[in-house]
Structure 1
Amino acid sequence: MEVKKEIGSFLELDFFKGLEYYKGNAARLNSARAGIYHAARVLNCHTVLLPYYQCETVRDFLLKKGIKVLYYLIDRKFSPKIQACPENTAIVLVNYFGIMGHDRMSHLSSNYQNVIIDNSQAFFSPAIEGCMNVYSARKFIGVPDGAYVIGNHAEDYLQKYELDYSSDTSLFLLQRIEYGCEGKAYQAREANEARINQSDIKRMSKLTHAILDGTDYEHIKSKRRKNFKTACNLFDNINKINPGVFYSDDCIPMVYPLVVEDEKLLPGLIKHKVFQGHWWNYLLAETDPDSFEYYMSKYMIPITIDQRYGENEMKYIFNIISKEL
């Protein structure tokens, strides 16, 4: 009979157990950027081909770990503008916004060897056989950090990584409830971001694992699907891209990507305490102004559709945007 090593004393936060979405043969790590590095390591690739249109933290982490990084552009359909991947190089294919269906990602991956699917924006996207699949937990669930890597031999090297500890910088999750997302809660979150940015690859913390093991995933999936559908009905007529072109029933989006060619829109939203933000503004200095990457970085606003909200919030955001345009 197995018992806890500590019995008695004060009560801790208590979570349901046994609900973890990804069980079995998965590598549980501290961040998706570390997960991409781990996937490249499992594939025995010392060079990684990244899309320009991706968070710079992935690039920076790989370079810090001694991985050579190459880049590719994407077209307006989010397809790589390359024909082949160099030998002994892993290519990262991003499931953008969580709106690229399984068939779409399977088709893209079939064109290359040593494929890493970056599902940081698509936590519930089914793993693709023959690829390394990387998932970020904190973009979909209220956790301080955490990532999964699923694929052949995904659990290799885990014994070489230290266990992460995230409780010291997780207070922002509680402060958000009482103080909102500004002020001290935001400052505490920034401290957690700094910890992740400075961290090496580690195994998932016990705190993050406990939260993920007690989360109602069906509720999250249902709410995000409904909110995305509502957002499509509201915003598709003003959107310069089509978010539904590769969408399928297996998609659980992270955000609704709204592209409107109006630089005053984002400040207008923030003025009304609708906290959105352009992604990856660093690309404005690193890509050609005529490129799709530059265009998306300049104009795309990721509209929040997560499980905290519903139809009323979607309409509220739409009404603000309608007045600002």
Structure 2
Amino acid sequence: MEEIGGYFHLELNRICNFSHYGGILLNSGRCSFEYILTQLSVKKIFLPFYTCEVVLEPILRRGIKYEFYGIDSNLEIQGRLKLGDGDYVLYTNYFGIKDHYVKQLANVYKSCLIIDNSQALFAERWMDIPTFYSPRKFVGLPDGGVAYCKKREEIELDFDKSYDRCEHLLSRYDRLASDGYSIFRMNSAKLKDQKMAYMSNLTKALIGNIDFTTVKNIRNSNFLYLHDRLSVSNKFDIGDINSFSCPMVYPYWSDDHTLRDRLIKNKIYVPTYWPNVMQWCTEDQLEYYLAKDIIPLPIDQRYNNKDLENIISIIRLR
């Protein structure tokens, strides 16, 4: 018998315009990647040097062989990888701006391709290529991931529980981000080596509360605003701005090596994607400098033109 009465839960709206309800809803992006690996007969996987170290968790857990490959300054695979039987290629849709290139790769590697859309929540899945997403990179969620795979054998999984990973989300209303950063780090650490499970009821309810149409529109508008003012000084070639659905950040590559610290000092918090790359690579590899020098400027739905002008003014202080 269901419980009746007692204290209230959070009152959440039911907007439900999340575009990935048709995928397998799991407890994190990396577990979504693992789900795909369980559905495919993967003997070996090629993955980019320029990627987050957490992608290794499911690969190592499944005992799959792996090999790194290099990318060029356009964030595209150097040359063509030679695949044997049971070999697969993992490609990251970097910053959410490589949608068009993903389509090109699909024509080359076909069913041997896996797409990491963790930074491209609004990118469409292409040609039934196995693909996974991480919504919490775009909106305020404690966890969660989505997997798509044409082959879908039933796997017996528990449902995750998320209530103990929400403190940083709640504290953000009453405190500064800097005050709750240690809690954010602690809750993120809880996802490390996490057992694969279905998405929690809480995370699903939070997703249903978000107006993703508005999220997408504001992000695209903010991206264009920064691009209009910074593209001339940006060493990174964004390419055709009509070739992608919705970016996660504005990738800004500058010769000003004081810029990252200057932004953070002025309370504009920009992460490093990804510190592990500078350990995996040497200084004669492009990926070392991609990780070190590209600054992901925030464009998300919390900000308006006034906020973006603050970012621009600090960049131009040099």
CA distances 1:204-242 after superposition (whole Å, capped 9, x unpaired) = 111111111221011101100000000101211111011
Residue of structure 2 equivalent to 1:273: 267
Q: Is the 8 A contact 1:241 1:258 kept in 2?
A: yes
Q: Is the 8 A contact 1:43 1:90 kept in 2?
A: no
Moved more, 23-32 or 261-270: 23-32
Amino acid at match of 1:176: R
Per the normalisation by structure 2, the TM-score is: 0.94
Moved more, 34-43 or 229-238: 34-43
Gaps of 5+ in 1: none
Corresponding position: 1:177 with 2:195: no
Q: Is the 8 A contact 1:129 1:151 kept in 2?
A: no
Shift of 1:14: 1.8
Say what the alpha-carbon RMSD is for the aligned residues: 1.7
CA distances 1:76-96 after superposition (whole Å, capped 9, x unpaired) = 121112423332122111111
Distance 1:67 1:26 in 2: 24
Map 1:83-122 → 2, pairs under 5 A: 83=80, 84-101=82-99, 103-112=100-109, 113-122=111-120
Shift of 1:16: 2.1
Shift of 1:162: 2.0
Q: Is the 8 A contact 2:114 2:130 kept in 1?
A: yes
Shift of 1:8: 1.7
Amino acid at match of 1:222: N
Distance 1:116 1:214 in 2: 29
Q: Is the 8 A contact 1:27 1:149 kept in 2?
A: yes
Residue of structure 2 equivalent to 1:163: 159
Map 1:31-110 → 2, pairs under 5 A: 31-83=28-80, 84-101=82-99, 103-110=100-107
Percentage identity across aligned positions? 30
Amino acid at match of 1:75: D
Amino acid at match of 1:122: A
Distance 2:280 2:297 in 1: 25
Shift of 1:67: 2.1
Q: Is the 8 A contact 2:249 2:299 kept in 1?
A: yes
Moved more, 166-175 or 246-255: 246-255
Q: Secondary structure at the match of 1:288?
A: coil
Q: Secondary structure at the match of 2:46?
A: strand
CA distances 1:171-204 after superposition (whole Å, capped 9, x unpaired) = 1101011111112x21221221111014121111
Q: Is the 8 A contact 2:96 2:244 kept in 1?
A: no
Residue of structure 2 equivalent to 1:205: 200
CA distances 1:43-100 after superposition (whole Å, capped 9, x unpaired) = 2213221111000111133213322221111111211124233321221111110112
Distance 2:297 2:269 in 1: 9
Residue of structure 2 equivalent to 1:257: 251
Distance 1:200 1:42 in 2: 17
Q: 1:21 is matched with which residue: 10, 18, 21?
A: 18
Distance 2:20 2:74 in 1: 33
Residues 233 and 24 of structure 1: CA distance in aligned 2, closer, same or farther (over 3 Å): closer
Amino acid at match of 1:290: D
Distance 1:219 1:26 in 2: 21
Amino acid at match of 1:118: D
Q: Is the 8 A contact 1:43 1:114 kept in 2?
A: no
Distance 2:58 2:40 in 1: 17
Residues 36 and 247 of structure 1: CA distance in aligned 2, closer, same or farther (over 3 Å): farther
CA distances 1:6-49 after superposition (whole Å, capped 9, x unpaired) = 22221111222261423554111111111112112212213221
Q: Is the 8 A contact 1:40 1:48 kept in 2?
A: no
Corresponding position: 1:214 with 2:212: no
CA distances 1:105-152 after superposition (whole Å, capped 9, x unpaired) = 111121113211110000010111230111101011100011111231
Distance 1:11 1:195 in 2: 27
Gaps of 5+ in 2: none
Amino acid at match of 1:219: T
